[in-house]
Amino acid sequence: MKREILNYPDKKHFSPKSNPRWGKEEETEIFGQNVKLFRKGKISEDDFRRFRLQHGAYGSRLQQNYSMVRIKIPSGEITPEQLEKIGALSEAFSIGSAHVSTRQNIQLHWVQLEDVSEVMRGLVDVGLTTREACGNTIRNVMCSHFAGVCPDEEFDSTPYSKAIARFFLRNPVCQNLPRKFKINFACCSRHGLVRIADIGLIPMKKEGINGFKIYLGGGLGAASFIGHQLEEFTSEDRLVSTCVAVVRLFDRLGNRENMARNRMRYLVNEMGWSKFQRLVIKERSNVEMTISLETLNRYKVEWETPGIRQLSNGRKLPLINEKVDVNSDPYKRWLHSNVVPQKQNGYFVVFITLGAGDITSNQLRSLAKTIRNYSGEECARNTPNQNFAVRYVKANNLPEFYNDLVKIGLANPGALSLSSVVGCSGTTSCNLAITNSHRLAKEIQSKFIELGIDTEDSLRDSTIKISGCPNSCGQHEIATIGFYGGASRVDGAMTPTYTMMFGGKDGEEGMLGKSVMRVPAKRVIATLIKIIEIYKQERSAEESLSRWISKLINGVVNGRGQVKSLDDMKSALAQTVTLPSPSDDPEAYMDYGNDIKFSAKTARGECAA
Amino acid sequence: MRSLKYAFKEKKTNNILSKNRTLSKSQDIITNVDILRSLIRKNSVRIVDVRKEDEYKKEHIKTAISIPLATVLADDSPERIVKLLEQSGISDKTLVVVYDDTFGALAARVAWTFQYVGHSNTSLLETTFTKWKNYGFETEKKVNVFPRAKHSLKVNTDIYANYDEVEKTKTEQNKILVDSRERLNFLSEHIPGATNLPYTMLGTSDSILREPQEIRRFMENRGISTDNEVITYCGSVGTLSGLAYYALRMGGVKNIRLYSRSFKEWKKLGKPIEEFKDANFWDLSAE
């Protein structure tokens, strides 16, 4: 049963993963027809919106004639052929760049509504779908990008993640939920977003049996909650009945009235965890007693054993732990912050650094080639940090791999460091956004690479994540330093500002960040640099930034200096966050990407609450 | 090696040919590589290379002459264009095939200009120079000169639009204005009432123009029927919109014109513009 890693002596026996068939041709036809009917006024706006969202097309910022097409990448696993196709579709119908989201989707922005069916048609060719990528249904099922290669995992959760995704896609049980529903699989307690999902799952074994530790009712948004553990251990044969039970409960009891409070986490919170927990256990018994064989047959865990292609003889690579600094050889610097060893001896995971998830069509095409050349499994995974992970790379292929990336402008260091900043799409395309979080994330990244922040090991376990509004698509609440956008009056002028949060965490230890203070958009970079400076003065010996910040928010810092609490921090930053007067520097009051006076414009949200 | 490649290509193009048969006219617009090769062998075509002259001098398709796009644009008065044709040994009846090395847009602008002065017998090569060369087809370095020919001047005003006609598309129901620039340029600003059909939608990696049935589908999606009067425009000199002009003709639009002075002239004249400034869409592009 267990997926085996086979080292075949040559390529002959290797068959790359075939594209799964998630998409359906007829759905693209139906979508095209419905757009025409909608334009003729034969479908109401509300009905059409619902239909459009169910098929993964989200309205663009203040321009309903354009869509963001959200392509689901179940478990984040993507083949070179799929990357090439997304590149071609982006070039033809979108803006020539694709955007990797924080939930393992790939988004094409500003697609004319009339062309959405064409994009879907292209996706079906390579087995992909946008079905149920938006709307009140089960969204893309995520799986840790380390699953299968993580040294700490008990088994590979990928086949389960895919089986659950297949089970729920187009399943009548989840076509009209009170609100969207998210399922995230981890590989171990460290990697994965299990505490901020409706259902979060960590693989674990008990007495030799595969199963999961399941967390329920977590989620980020205007009000965020950390998920609760259902039971000590859920064996794999109860996985599907447990998930169905939770979805059915939510469907039945969830709030269908108040759009702002209808995610499952509110239901859990209002009802109280212990009551919800009892209901889930009871509902699961009902499901197990009544589920039809036909329904059950939708669920099938497929252990793929394609084998891993032997690329060449591998050597151990000690280099990646070597100390580097801003003046180091670029290749060494890249190795240091973009490459990690797998549990399989001699293989490495290579991370491709993107800027807030953006990648051009040409880069997608070239990256596809690189993956074919150097990944033993001939596919990649997109990560919630808006990067790509290419796995099963042999040590002696790393220099060539790097050179390929240099040629296509994808060789930036820092994918696994503080300089890899997450940013949602913000005012570049989203109706709800107040600020240009997307551009800010990229600005921080380039500044940090310039400063060599990626080379500093004490900053490596920290993250920066930015959302353009309180709705958390940028997952700011689980960042070491998170920001969400807003508008405030500063010195009489409307100004784009961010609320800064400290101490968020992902993984099983998931924790929500604490609000610190507001920072004007144009002072965010200076503020971050100042925080790092203060941390370096204040930390005790080997303490990492994230550890120091944890202690700071708990008020248990015992360093030498002045900053021992959040209040101290606020005072220390007071000067840095202050803007010059509007007449001295009008630009300081504008948002990134704008040369006009700032004003907060938003419209109805369709996707995130 | 060469013969292998050739066999493959032949198979593929036969396939395209058979598809094309279902929709007539497309073959007038596009000449496929096999047909051009046999025309070269029979010495019954004048091939026009619109790349820069020094690129032409390095290597070009066998028997081609050089008429760079810049030469055409330097002065595209009908009298001068006819003179260019005559100098190149092109008479009224000569079959002309035009190619470039980008994605067909430069060739399209030159081909349109020839047709505008009355040389209707003009067609676009389905592929670019680099691909032609990669297929292993005939090239040479020799600069070709042909004896001067006589060419009449019959300006075809039916395929040209000035700003006045562009303005009418806003009020007249049957008229459609197509902007063929990329999406982000269109979003930033465009002529009011225009619909965006980016040039990036028109071709594939194999051919400068998609198959007619695909173009037809894109048109239908946008509510463009073959009976509409369509005007295409782009940013400055009518290259991208030249390609759109041929694409829409291939999709079956009978009455189609090119606003060759395009958005550059429109702005210079201070005509109204539709802008969209409420989103930072440019910041979505990767470096």
The confidence score (pLDDT) of residue A15 equals 66
Contact across the interface for B279 and A96, Cβ inside 8 Å:
no
Query: How sure is the predictor about B21, in pLDDT bands with cuts at 50, 70 and 90?
Result: very low
One of 3.40.50.300, 3.30.413.10, 3.40.50.150, 3.40.50.720 is the CATH number of A422-589, namely: 3.30.413.10
Shared domain for B217 and B137, answered yes or no, is no
CB contact under 8 A, A355 and B285: no
- Which of A34, A428, A439 to mutate to probe the B interface, most B CBs <10 Å? A428
Instruction: Please indicate, yes or no, whether residues B224 and B116 belong to a single structural domain of this protein.
Output: no
Res A418: pLDDT: 96
Name the band, by pLDDT with cuts 50, 70 and 90, for residue A13. low
Chain B residues interacting with chain A (CB cutoff of 8 angstroms): 182-184, 187, 196, 198, 200-201, 205, 217-218, 221-223, 276-287
* Residues B71 and B198 occupy one common structural domain: no
B-chain residues within 8 Å CB-CB of A592? 280, 283
**Residues A381-406, buried b or exposed e (16+ Cβ, 10 A)?**
bbbbbbbbbbbbbbbebbeebbebbe
Residues from chain A that touch B283, judged by Cβ atoms under 8 A, are 428, 436, 438-439, 442, 592-593
Tell if the CB–CB gap between B280 and A114 is shorter than 8 Å. no
List Cβ neighbours of A4 (8 Å cut-off, separation of 6 or more).
A305, A307
Q: What is the DSSP letter of A189?
A: S
On chain B, the residues whose CB falls within 8 A of the CB of A594 are 280
Of B257 and B11, which is predicted with more confidence?
B257
Is residue B1's pLDDT more than 80? no
Q: Does the beta-carbon distance from A358 to B277 stay under 8 Å?
A: no
Which residue's structure tokens are 């009544």? A290
Cβ distance of A601 and B287 shorter than 8 Å: no
Look at residues B96, B129, B156 and tell me which one is the last residue of a structural domain. Answer: B156
Note whether B280 contacts A93, CB cutoff 8 Å.
no
- How far is residue B245's CA from residue B199's CA, in Å, rounded to a whole number? 10
B210, B202 Cβ separation under 8 angstroms: yes
Task: Tell me which chain A residues have a C-beta less than 8 angstroms from the C-beta of B217.
Answer: 118
Mean pLDDT of B41-57: 97
CA distance A554 to chain B (A): 38
State the smallest CA–CA distance between residue A439 and chain B in angstroms: 6
What is the ipTM metric for this complex? 0.91
Is residue B73 located within the same domain as residue B201?
no
H-helix or E-strand containing B140? strand B139-140
Q: Residue B19 above 50 pLDDT?
A: no
Model confidence at A319: pLDDT above 80: no
Say if the Cβ atoms of A110 and B187 lie within 8 Å: yes
Are residue B176 and residue B189 in the same domain, yes or no? yes
Q: Which of B130, B156, B182 is the last residue of a domain?
A: B156
CB atoms within 10 A of CB A341: 17
Tokens of B259: 């606003």
Q: Which of B215, B281, B282 to mutate to test the interface with A (most CBs of A within 10 A)?
A: B281
User: Are residues A117 and B184, on separate chains, in Cβ contact within 8 Å?
Assistant: no
pLDDT in tens, B276-287: 999 999 999 987
Same domain, B86 and B194: no
Residues B203 and B188 in one domain: yes
Please state the domain extents for chain A: 25-125, 142-296, 312-407, 422-589
Torsion-angle region of B273 (φ positive above 0: left; ψ -120 to 50: alpha; else: beta): beta
- At B3 the pLDDT is 37
| Interval A209-231 mean pLDDT | 96
Contact across the interface for A94 and B187, Cβ inside 8 Å: no
Asked if pLDDT for residue B200 goes beyond 70, the answer is yes
Nearest one of B138, B147, B105 to B262, comparing CA atoms = B105
CATH placement of domain A25-125? 3.90.480.20
Comparing CB atoms, the residue among B184, B223, B286 nearest residue A359 is: B286
**Which residues of chain B are within 8 Å of residue A409 when distances are taken between CB atoms?**
287
Across the interface, do A62 and B187 touch by the CB < 8 Å criterion? no
Q: Top-level CATH class of A142-296?
A: alpha beta
Q: Which of A292, A302, A288, A289 is nearest to A171 (CA)?
A: A292
pLDDT digits (tens, 9 = 90+) for B139-180: 999 999 999 999 999 999 999 999 999 999 999 999 999 999
Whose CA is closest to A105, among A170, A148, A56? A56
The shortest C-alpha distance from B99 to chain A (Å) reads 22
Tell me if A312-407 shares its fold with A422-589.
no
Q: How many CB pairs under 8 A join A and B?
A: 97
Distance to chain A for B204, nearest Cα, Å: 9
Under the banding of pLDDT at 50, 70 and 90, the label for residue B102 is very high
Run of H or E including A87: helix A80-93
**Closest by Cβ to A96, choosing from B182, B187, B196:** B182
Reported as a pLDDT band with limits 50, 70 and 90, residue A304 is confident
Kindly tell me if the per-residue pLDDT of B208 is higher than 80.
yes
What tens digit of pLDDT does each residue of A71-97 get?
999 999 999 999 999 999 999 999 999
Confidence grade of residue A5 (pLDDT, cut at 50, 70, 90): very low
CB A70 within 8 A of CB A107: yes
Q: How far is A575 from chain B (nearest CA, A)?
A: 29
Asked if residue B145 and residue B13 are part of one domain, the reply reads yes
Identify whether residues B151 and B169 lie together within a single domain.
Answer: no
Partner-chain contact A61 B279, CB within 8 Å: yes
Which residue of B lies nearest to A602 if distances are taken between CA atoms?
B278
What are the chain A neighbours of B182 within 8 Å (beta carbons)? 95-96
With a cut of 70, say whether residue A7 has pLDDT above it: no
Q: What is the pLDDT of residue A217?
A: 97
* C-alpha closest to that of A607 among A172, A201, A119, A130: A130
What's the total number of domains in chain B?
2
Q: Which residues of A464-473 are buried (b: 16+ CB within 10 A; e: fewer)?
A: bbbbbbbbbb
Has residue A99 got a pLDDT over 80?
A: yes
User: What are the tokens at A550?
Assistant: 């944890």
Share of chain B above pLDDT 70, in %: 90
Q: Give tens-digit pLDDT for B213-268.
A: 999 999 999 999 999 999 999 999 999 999 999 999 999 999 999 999 999 999 99
Q: Is the pTM of this model over 0.90?
A: yes
Q: What is the pLDDT of residue A465?
A: 98
Which has the closest alpha carbon to B32: B97, B101, B83? B97
| B46 and B168 fall within a common domain | no
Q: Of the candidates B100, B131, B156, which is a domain's last residue?
A: B156
Instruction: Output the CA angle A165-A166-A170, nearest 5 degrees.
Output: 100
Measured CA to CA, the distance from residue B40 to residue B250 in angstroms comes to 24
DSSP H or E segment with residue A60: strand A57-60
For residue A541, what pLDDT is reported? 81
The answer to whether A62 faces chain B, any CB pair under 8 Å, is yes
Res A20: pLDDT: 83
Chain A residues with CB-CB distance to B186 below 8 A: none
Buried b (16+ CB within 10 A) or exposed e, B50-88: bbeeebbeeebbbbbbbbbbebbbeebeeeebbebbeeb
A323 or A506, which is more confident?
A506
- CATH for the stretch A312-407: 3.90.480.20
pLDDT for position A305: 61
Question: What does the pLDDT read at residue A107?
Answer: 98
Percent of chain B as helix, strand, coil, to the nearest 5: 45, 15, 45
Q: Are residues B220 and B133 in the same domain?
A: no
What pLDDT does residue A555 have? Answer: 84
Whether A360 sits inside 8 A of B285 (CB atoms) is yes
What value does the mean pLDDT of chain B take? 91
Q: Which domain holds residue B217?
A: 160-284
What percent of chain A has pLDDT above 70? 94
**Could you tell me which chain A residue has the CA closest to the CA of B283?**
A439
pLDDT at A259 over 90: no
Q: Give A102-144 as a 3 state SS string.
A: CCCEEEEEEEEHHHHHHHHHHHHHCCCECCCCCCCCECCCEEC
Chain A from 88 to 107: CB within 8 A of any B CB: 88, 91-97, 99
End-to-end CA distance of chain B: 39
- Tell me if chain B has a CB within 8 Å of the CB of A437: no
Evaluate if residue A137 carries a pLDDT over 90.
yes
CB contact under 8 A, A115 and B182: no
Residues 572-601 of A with CB under 8 A from B: 591-594, 596, 601
- Same domain for B57 and B140, yes or no, is yes
Cα–Cα–Cα angle for A493, A495, A497, rounded to 5 degrees: 150
Identity at A425, one-letter amino acid code: S
Q: Which of A123-127, B12-16, B37-41 has the lowest mean pLDDT?
A: B12-16
H or E element that contains A362? helix A361-374
Query: Of A321-330, A337-346, A358-367, B115-124, which range is least confident?
Result: A321-330
State how far residue A548 is from chain B, nearest Cα, in angstroms. 34
CATH number at residue B34: 3.40.250.10
